[in-house]
Structure 1
Amino acid sequence: MSAPVTPPPALGPVAQSVDEQLAQLSESFRFLLDLTPVDATERRREWLAGDMSEPRFTYRELSTDPDVVLATLDRLDLGGIEDPSVAELLTSKVRELRLQAELLRARNSPDFLPMALELYGSVTPDLHQIAQQVLDEVGHEPEPSDPVHATEFHELAVREISWYQEQNPDVVMHAEIRDDVNGVLVSGDTLLIGSDAAVQRRRANALLQHEIGTHLVTQVNGADQPLRCLGAGLAGYDETQEGLAVLAEIAVGELTRTRLRQLAGRVLTVEAMVSSASFGDCWQQLVSRGFRRGSAFTTVMRVHRSGGFPKDACYLRGLVDLLVHLEQGGKLDLFHLGKFALADLPRVEGLDEAGLLTAPKIIPRYLTDTTCTRRLERAPHSPLSTQVSGYIDSTTKEDLP
């Protein structure tokens, strides 16, 4: 007979109550969906046909009343949280949720961008230099000719989710095709696939590992933790989460030159938008850099949505920060327990050492493949690990077409 499993120590009644309420509140948000146009495909078609000077987008009705969110946050008893590390993590989450609620209320107004910059930050000179170097040194690829469309990608996603459910029948993940979604994104425990989405076949697995192997895996593991906010995401998790997801693309050998240039282009577009460049100016900047006209539109739409949304600089910044972390001897193991920022790693390590966290229900599928893990092991040994284009050229060259 196996020994009984000892439950982890309790967080404390006040911390548990606050954590539960914050997790529920976070899960009630459709933050990215509510800030993303429902008619981006139509506006893109009109833009490319030359039928408009500046696109005007339509947004869905807010799923959550920001005033209700703010009132709920005001009622929380943060002062009674027992553990100082937990108190700091949950207090930061309250500040983030408050800012997100204010952003939803300020959608498409002049107040939106300053708050979005407070949430996601802007582009530093170092990040600008890295993005510039990527575009200067990483060449273009031929036009892709074998796309995977929404229905087929949905089938691949369902198959991938089934693999995780075979490892653990308690895993809850979903995938669905939606007419009101542009591209592919995760919301809660569901992978949403736009009905017009098309993915390069050679990048289909990379996208699966990015969205399912990272975003959904950490959601499942985090939601199962005693600290439930690890499922919805602790404050500032986006940057590290996106960096981890791009590392997954590297692990499966599908971080293509086009994708790397896209991440760099997003950084420069955020920088231009923050400097008051118009939609058309940002688009022209990318086209002059050799970006395809349609993909340039999508990049600019993502950055200009809702009044100026600088989140897309997080992908390259998060990747660079994790490469530095690895180069300095850091590990990635704890990042699979849930969604949190690299800056909060010491606090999460402390909670883990205190027995306040549990082992992950599942691990990313790519980590079960020795070829993938070898690619990750090479990452910190690149002499240019903080210069991403040099890193790609020196460590995954055999994986690039």
Structure 2
Amino acid sequence: MKQEINTVNKILLNIDTHLHKLVKKIELLTYVNPINIESEKERFFASKYLSEPDFIYPNIDFDKFKLHKELFSLPIEKIEDDRIKSLYQDIIYFYSGLIQSIETIGTGKKFYYNSLHSFGTPTEKDVENAKFILHFDENLEAEHFKPKHSVLQTETFFKDYSKRYDFKYHITHSDRMGAIAMVLNNQQTLVLNSNHMFSDNEIGVLTNHEIGVHMVTTMNALLHPLKIFSHGFPNNVETQEGLSVFSEYMSGNLTIKRLKELAYRVLAVNCLAKGNSFSKTFRMLHSTYDLNKNDAFYITTRVHRGGGFTKDYLYLTGLSKIYSLYKKGTSLDVLLTGKVSIEYKSDIEYLQEKGLAVKPKYITDSFAENNNKNKTIDFILDNLK
């Protein structure tokens, strides 16, 4: 009986390994970030916010058609466990959607529809939550919001913060990104925006967000026999970003300003979903909601890059779901096992029972104690619909 189980697992591991070889280059953020953001920002501002940016994207360095063909040729029918077979079917369709998204970057509507398929779009409830958050004010002149740290100084803060975790990763800088920091999962690399001057609050937010969750789940994922934990389960973006913003909250770094940023993203995605242009989305943020022009431009860029990238609304919905689990006393540890999603929590536990997954070695440091002291933040999170 033991030999039979080993044989069954060997078949699964072979399929999983082959799948890993096929999809290891599928990192959507690597391809969807424009390489000429700053020059297009200058041109857009010079046009009095009327011209549409002409973004340029990195070249795709894999054969898209061949990858699709090989992906659907994987013999998952040989997986005898129906529950695991169903999981791998979901994952293959998910990866196929990401490939379609990558191959249509910069094509306008084609990319937008693929983005919709992979990430969805805000509901009326999501938009109402965003508008609710915008009713609250914060002193934006506070010292911890002032930009004062260069990218090199900020790198030092990240290295110091990371001493609490027993893992190594790479740090690089880029002047070609819309975000101010991001983790490249497949490369175990943190990328910092060299064009940005970082505030104390941003460093607190980003260390707990990017390292405390994104790098933690990257490193935990490497410990499993199955590599699907590294490449990601379906719908993992909402869960992973929800955990990351929740880490900001638990560490005491989540502010009304930051929540408003997430709310603006929801409204920007909603504006995109209604068929509005880049310039109209920008003017909605800048004129209707009085967001400063630089922040409005970068949020609009995040949402319109590629032709319409809807994932940014998931930060707020993900936070709401994770906060709800926390209030119920539910352990979040299983969600730190890799790039996983709430919807597959029981499947992860099933894989752990089968010896095909392990419990997380690294636990987000901030989750051990609630250091949020802002009662207004608690009120907002408690009243999200």
Change (3 A) 1:80 1:9: closer
TM (normalized to structure 1)?
Answer: 0.86
1:316 alignment partner AA: L
2:32 to 30, 35, 39: 35
Change (3 A) 1:201 1:98: same
Mapping of 1:288-307 within 5 angstroms? Answer: 288-307=288-307
CA contact (8 A) 1:247 1:376 kept: no
SS in 1 for 2:192: strand
CA-CA distance at 1:249 after TM superposition: 0.4
RMSD (CA atoms): 2.6
- 1:143-202 per-residue CA deviation (whole Å, 9 max, x = no partner) reads 8423322111122223334442xx3xxx34211112333421111211111221332212
CA-CA distance at 1:72 after TM superposition: 2.0
Change (3 A) 1:383 1:157: closer
SS in 1 for 2:171: strand
CA-CA distance at 1:289 after TM superposition: 0.8
CA-CA distance at 1:12 after TM superposition: 1.1
SS in 1 for 2:24: helix
Supply the distance in 1 between the matched residues of 2:215 and 2:315 (Cα, whole angstroms).
17
Mapping of 1:356-367 within 5 angstroms? Answer: 356-367=356-367
- 1:12-55 per-residue CA deviation (whole Å, 9 max, x = no partner) reads 12221222223333332231120110111222233234466111
Change (3 A) 1:149 1:76: same
- 1:56-105 per-residue CA deviation (whole Å, 9 max, x = no partner) reads 11111113232232122022111111333322222111111111111122
1:230 and 2:226 correspond: no
Alignment match, 2:69: 71
CA contact (8 A) 2:15 2:74 kept: yes
CA-CA distance at 1:282 after TM superposition: 0.7
Supply the distance in 2 between the matched residues of 1:11 and 1:233 (Cα, whole angstroms).
23
- 1:87-139 per-residue CA deviation (whole Å, 9 max, x = no partner) reads 22221111111111111221222211111101001111111111110112345
Alignment match, 2:170: 174
* Identity between Structure 1 and Structure 2 (%): 25
1:30 alignment partner AA: E
Alignment match, 1:397: none
Supply the distance in 1 between the matched residues of 2:294 and 2:132 (Cα, whole angstroms).
23
1:151 alignment partner AA: L
1:176 alignment partner AA: T
CA contact (8 A) 2:334 2:359 kept: no
1:343 and 2:339 correspond: no
Supply the distance in 2 between the matched residues of 1:239 and 1:221 (Cα, whole angstroms).
18
CA contact (8 A) 2:37 2:176 kept: no
CA-CA distance at 1:349 after TM superposition: 2.1
SS in 2 for 1:55: coil
Q: How many residues end up aligned between the 2 structures?
A: 372
Alignment match, 1:62: 60
Change (3 A) 1:378 1:225: farther
Alignment match, 1:153: 154
SS in 1 for 2:134: helix
SS in 2 for 1:314: helix
Alignment match, 2:316: 316
Supply the distance in 1 between the matched residues of 2:8 and 2:209 (Cα, whole angstroms).
31
2:153 alignment partner AA: E
1:24 alignment partner AA: K
Q: Which moved more, 1:242-251 or 1:138-147?
A: 138-147
1:24 to 21, 35, 41: 21
CA-CA distance at 1:311 after TM superposition: 0.5
Supply the distance in 2 between the matched residues of 1:320 and 1:341 (Cα, whole angstroms).
14
SS in 2 for 1:193: strand
Supply the distance in 1 between the matched residues of 2:18 and 2:201 (Cα, whole angstroms).
42
Mapping of 1:315-394 within 5 angstroms? Answer: 315-367=315-367, 373-375=369-371, 385=381, 387-388=383-384
1:181 alignment partner AA: M
1:48 and 2:45 correspond: yes
Alignment match, 1:5: none
Change (3 A) 1:118 1:317: same
CA contact (8 A) 1:224 1:231 kept: no
Supply the distance in 1 between the matched residues of 2:269 and 2:330 (Cα, whole angstroms).
29
Alignment match, 2:274: 275
Alignment match, 1:258: 257
Stretches of structure 2 that go unaligned for 5 or more consecutive residues are none
CA-CA distance at 1:203 after TM superposition: 2.5
Stretches of structure 1 that go unaligned for 5 or more consecutive residues are 1-7, 391-401
Change (3 A) 1:130 1:77: same
Q: Which moved more, 1:37-46 or 1:18-27?
A: 18-27
TM (normalized to structure 2)?
Answer: 0.89
